[in-house]
Chain A
Amino acid sequence: MSPAEIGSLAIGALVVLIAVGMPIGVGMLLVSFIGVGLIRNDVVAMRMLGQVANDSLEEYLFAVVPLFVLMGLLVTTSGVGRDTFDVFQRLLRRLTAGLGVATVFANAVFAAITGISIASATVFARVAVPEMRRHGYTRAFATGVVAGSSVLGMLIPPSLLFIVYAVLAEESVGRMFLAGVGPGIVLALAFTATILLLAHTRRPFVFSGGADTAAHEAVGAGALARKVIPIALLIGLVLGGLYGGFFNPTEAGAAGAFGALVIAVLRKSLDRRSFWNLLVETGQITVSVLFLILAASFFSRMLALSGMPQALAAFFLEGPVGPYGFLVAYIVLVLLLGCLIDSISIMLILLPIAVPVAKAIGLDPIWFGVITVLAVEMGLLTPPFGLSVYTIKSAMGDADLKVGEIFRGAMPFLAAMLFTLVLIILFPPLATWLARL
């Protein structure tokens, strides 16, 4: 067997193992170990395994993972998300389907202080859905809006997905963050347009009863200001610090986590016990992400040894398919995997193969990264495994609520994402302009 054949077989074996339910990281370690053993020998395979475990995560940048996760969980418990929603609810109360639009805007703003989309989904499932139900929106629509707009959390910086992409594609994290801003705004607008369109053409999908007569909570100007201040401070701290001249991404994570901690303590939303549990949860999420990165490093090193990516690049470069054929095939693959696996796993499985190919055939890595993140995020809304949908289901704690109902409600937003994806493919400057400024 030639090394390239071993590489291809390893990919095939990995797909099968993952499909039947082996933990993805373990599957990657196993096929990579056997692959290197066959390409070189068992001694080298063993040494590479040890090296990967000890050096692949030894990177200051990776410290952002626990820090942004911690920050996300802290702002979730301290009610910053609820306040953001209240502000937009108040501002948009006269608009048709204004609560839906308020959810989207609140999510877009909340996205600027959280790097994980499950934080957004948790917060707004608890805050926005009950309020929308009270005002006569259907359950499918209310939960669908939350599921859809939660993806903004990973598109608008800071974003764990862009960090992972930047690491795997050797791009600057700061640049990838900037690249997400344009598409994030476009997607938020696309969501808004979708909501307004639905409210006018598909009323029964949006509203269950007659006219919305429920009263809006009266929020005075002073209270409004008090609600705006914490999130404004946090955004100023994290993004202002990052782009305005004080920190690198890792430090932005640390400062953000600390700022969120201060807010949580001042608001008395943390006791010692819940703070410890929150730290434990941070650790668990961190491990599940970083262990995958570790395993994926071994997988990509095995592939590099096999020469498979070069062969694949040659195929797309010289074959009849061409760069756009590659891009379409890649997106379809991402969407298919998105039905089954979580976002970070998809990136860690595909990017070691796809990034060298994309670079070889001359695709702009920043643009490619934005396309990847957006396509991967669509998986949050697709059945059977849609993480945002499941997060909403578990955050609502409503036994009556069927997962299928949320998936149905999220469908229009999935369509809006597809539309945005096509837009970015056709107009790359949407993603690259700000990043290359």
Chain B
Amino acid sequence: QETISLTIASSHPTVVPWVGMIKTHFMARTDEILAKGGKYKIRWNEAFGGQLYKANATLSSVEEGVTDIGWVFSFLEPAQLPLSQVSTNTPFTVTNVPVLLEVMETLLESNEAFRKEWENHNLKVLGLTATDLYDIYTKKPLTGIGDIRGMKLSAPGVLGNWLRGTGANAVDGALTTFYTDIQTGVSDGVLTLALGALPIKLYEVAPYISRFDAAAAFSGAIAINKDSWDRLPDEVRNAMIEAGKYYTVSHGEDMVRLHEDALNKMVELGARQSPPVTIIPMPAEERQKWVDMLPNLAAEWAAKLEGQGVPAKAFVKEYMGALRARGVEPSRNWDEGL
């Protein structure tokens, strides 16, 4: 039996579900498959949680071989991975995470420009990740989307775009800053995910969760450095490809379940605080009002990329088409009027 040493790393800690699943699903399944063959064994050198690099270098660290395998956070790489931003620039389209991941997986095979933007960074994509659904967490209860006019809402980088046209002021922030942002009055609320809000105890300071089910977004991939990949024997490569597919599927299913669990957990944990955590389900009309207030984000974004020679218009069309083909009904037809 041959032992192969591989470093696997992430900027985020393993308590973040998609990072934890790298261990429990991707690594475990790879080990399992290889154990059956009996010829190879991997000795994983784990460096999760920012030990090797921070969130600002997830792509270059895999690209340059600082780690062999790592989770690439595409949200923070708009310049290097332009087409991967498609889901954040076509918001309120898809809430079904498994379908979103399935579509991205197909596009990675069918759309050359999309595949190239990853492969040109000297890496091979093994599995894909997405977010759960975005909602608005506030100090005071909302009755509709109109109430956020004039409010200061924290949102991570890209998502500031989802607040344009709503009259709310986007305050740039990250999961690590949201709690104090609210507590100190830097902002009045946060546009974020249940899975992110739960561990940072956001509900303690922003107990009103207006459930818009705004959308899920494609967030990145587990990828392996191409040089490391080329050195691996075929049997190991096949095991990793299979484990990666398994990771993507399990990840999608888990996101749906975990999202509901996280919301319930927050209600449970915050039941006795004052005011208690309250989920306000927003009617479909309010959600639609929000979408309609937004400027034509997709057209703006695609035009800019086309200017740089990136075929973004065709990609938006292919993306929306693939979603519709799987029964998704977008709240706004971003592919019209590009």
Knowing A43-B65, A47-B65, the reply to whether A172 touches B176 (Cβ < 8 A) is yes
Knowing A44-B66, A301-B51, the reply to whether A245 touches B56 (Cβ < 8 A) is no
How close is A39's CB to chain B, nearest CB, in angstroms?
Answer: 9
Question: Is B61 interfacial (CB-CB < 8 Å)?
Answer: yes
Q: Is the CB of B45 within 8 A of A48?
A: no
**Chain B residue at minimal CB-CB distance from A243:** B184
**Chain A residue at minimal CB-CB distance from B200:** A172
Question: Is A305 interfacial (CB-CB < 8 Å)?
Answer: yes
For the side of the interface on B, what is the size category? Answer: 20 to 34
8 A Cβ contacts from B37-62 to A = 45, 47, 49-54, 56-57, 60-61
How close is A306's CB to chain B, nearest CB, in angstroms?
Answer: 9
Tell me the bound Cα distance from A174 to B66 in angstroms.
32
Knowing A174-B180, A245-B184, A301-B51, the reply to whether A55 touches B45 (Cβ < 8 A) is no
Question: Is B64 interfacial (CB-CB < 8 Å)?
Answer: yes
Tell me the bound Cα distance from A245 to B186 in angstroms.
7
Pick from A43, A55, A247, A356: contact of B186, CB under 8 Å: A247
CB neighbours of A48 from chain B (8 A)? 64, 66
Pick from B52, B179, B183, B184: contact of A301, CB under 8 Å: B52
CB neighbours of A419 from chain B (8 A)? none
Tell me the bound Cα distance from A352 to B235 in angstroms.
37
Tell me the bound Cα distance from A174 to B176 in angstroms.
12
**Chain B residue at minimal CB-CB distance from A170:** B50
CB neighbours of B181 from chain A (8 A)? 248
How close is B32's CB to chain A, nearest CB, in angstroms?
Answer: 23
In the complex, how many residues of chain A place their beta carbon closer than 8 angstroms to a beta carbon of chain B? 27
Question: Is A304 interfacial (CB-CB < 8 Å)?
Answer: yes
Question: Is B110 interfacial (CB-CB < 8 Å)?
Answer: no
Question: Is B288 interfacial (CB-CB < 8 Å)?
Answer: no
Q: Is the CB of A51 within 8 A of B66?
A: yes
How close is A301's CB to chain B, nearest CB, in angstroms?
Answer: 5
Question: Is B20 interfacial (CB-CB < 8 Å)?
Answer: no
Question: Is A427 interfacial (CB-CB < 8 Å)?
Answer: no
8 A Cβ contacts from A301-349 to B = 301, 304-305, 307
In this complex, the member of A47, A242, A300, A304 whose beta carbon has the largest number of chain B beta carbons within 10 angstroms is A304
Tell me the bound Cα distance from A244 to B185 in angstroms.
8
Tell me the bound Cα distance from A49 to B206 in angstroms.
41
CB neighbours of B47 from chain A (8 A)? 304-305
**Chain B residue at minimal CB-CB distance from A300:** B51
CB neighbours of B120 from chain A (8 A)? none
How close is B51's CB to chain A, nearest CB, in angstroms?
Answer: 3
Question: Is A40 interfacial (CB-CB < 8 Å)?
Answer: yes
Q: Is the CB of A56 within 8 A of B51?
A: no
The total of Cβ contacts below 8 Å across the A-B interface reads: 62
Knowing A172-B180, A248-B177, the reply to whether A51 touches B64 (Cβ < 8 A) is yes
Question: Is A409 interfacial (CB-CB < 8 Å)?
Answer: no
Question: Is B7 interfacial (CB-CB < 8 Å)?
Answer: yes
Q: Is the CB of A40 within 8 A of B57?
A: no
Q: Is the CB of A304 within 8 A of B52?
A: yes
CB neighbours of B51 from chain A (8 A)? 300-301, 304, 356
How close is B274's CB to chain A, nearest CB, in angstroms?
Answer: 15
Tell me the bound Cα distance from A305 to B53 in angstroms.
11
In this complex, the member of B51, B54, B184 whose beta carbon has the largest number of chain A beta carbons within 10 angstroms is B184
CB neighbours of B56 from chain A (8 A)? 55, 58
Pick from B45, B65, B177: contact of A3, CB under 8 Å: B45
CB neighbours of B185 from chain A (8 A)? 244-246
How close is A344's CB to chain B, nearest CB, in angstroms?
Answer: 20
**Chain B residue at minimal CB-CB distance from A307:** B45
Q: Is the CB of A246 within 8 A of B45?
A: no
How close is B206's CB to chain A, nearest CB, in angstroms?
Answer: 14
Q: Is the CB of B66 within 8 A of A55?
A: no
CB neighbours of A40 from chain B (8 A)? 65
Tell me the bound Cα distance from A40 to B67 in angstroms.
10
Q: Is the CB of B65 within 8 A of A51?
A: no
Tell me the bound Cα distance from A247 to B186 in angstroms.
6
CB neighbours of A245 from chain B (8 A)? 183-186
Q: Is the CB of A301 within 8 A of B180?
A: no
How close is B197's CB to chain A, nearest CB, in angstroms?
Answer: 16
Q: List 20 A-B contacts (CB under 8 A).
A: A3-B45, A48-B64, A48-B66, A51-B53, A51-B60, A51-B66, A55-B56, A172-B176, A172-B179, A242-B184, A244-B184, A245-B185, A246-B185, A247-B184, A248-B180, A248-B186, A300-B51, A301-B52, A301-B53, A305-B45
Q: Which 9 A-B pairs have the closest CB atoms?
A: A245-B185, A304-B51, A47-B64, A304-B47, A55-B57, A245-B184, A44-B65, A174-B180, A55-B56
Chain A interface (Cβ < 8 Å from any Cβ of B)? 3, 40, 43-44, 47-48, 51, 55-56, 58-59, 170, 172, 174, 242-248, 300-301, 304-305, 307, 356
Using A48-B66, A55-B54 as known contacts, list a sample of 8 further A-B pairs with CB atoms less than 8 Å apart, ordered by residue number in A: A3-B45, A47-B66, A51-B57, A59-B54, A244-B184, A248-B177, A304-B52, A356-B51
